[in-house]
């Protein structure tokens, strides 16, 4: 599966240049018109170095949705997950610069959603 990475309103303004630079355009789009995106919020003191997703129907993990960039502390990015499968359920796996990893299973992303990572 291939996904488009949308990294905030600022990058949206860059249009095709931004999506071509970050991740390829998905080969298809779901026909139902539902927004399949998730906003990843990093409220930890560490940079997030990697985020991967898995469609619950296929079970295949993607490559790093952030490509070669990091998600700094106290920042967020929105990721478009529409792969044409009409699936709403995805799992997400994040890795931080200190090697710590977090997985969130079975997230319903239809209609948009947010995954906030924080420390206690």
Indicate whether 20 pLDDT > 70: no
Q: Are 74 and 119 in contact (CB under 8 A)?
A: no
What are the phi and psi torsion angles at 16 (to 5°)? -60, -30
Q: Are 31 and 42 in contact (CB under 8 A)?
A: no
Q: pLDDT band at 98, cuts 50/70/90?
A: very high
- Tell me the percentage of the chain whose pLDDT exceeds 70: 76
Q: pLDDT band at 23, cuts 50/70/90?
A: very low
Q: Which residue has the higher pLDDT, 71 or 25?
A: 71
Which CATH number, 2.60.40.1530, 3.40.920.10, 2.60.120.260, 2.60.40.2890, labels domain 4-118? 2.60.40.2890
Give the least confident one: 15-19, 53-57, 74-78, 81-85.
15-19
Domain boundaries, the chain: 4-118
Q: Please tell me the pTM assigned to this model.
A: 0.70
């Amino acid at each position: 599966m291939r996904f488009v990475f949308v990294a905030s309103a600022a990058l949206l303004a860059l249009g095709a240049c931004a999506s071509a630079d970050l991740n390829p355009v998905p080969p298809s789009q779901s026909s139902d018109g539902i927004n399949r995106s998730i906003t990843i919020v990093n409220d930890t003191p560490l940079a997030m170095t990697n985020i991967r997703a898995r469609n619950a129907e296929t079970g295949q993990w993607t490559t790093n949705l952030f490509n070669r960039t990091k998600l700094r502390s106290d920042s967020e990015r929105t990721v478009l997950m529409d792969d044409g499968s009409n699936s709403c359920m995805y799992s997400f796996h994040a890795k931080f610069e200190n090697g710590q990893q977090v997985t969130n299973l079975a997230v319903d992303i239809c209609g948009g959603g947010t995954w906030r990572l924080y420390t206690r």
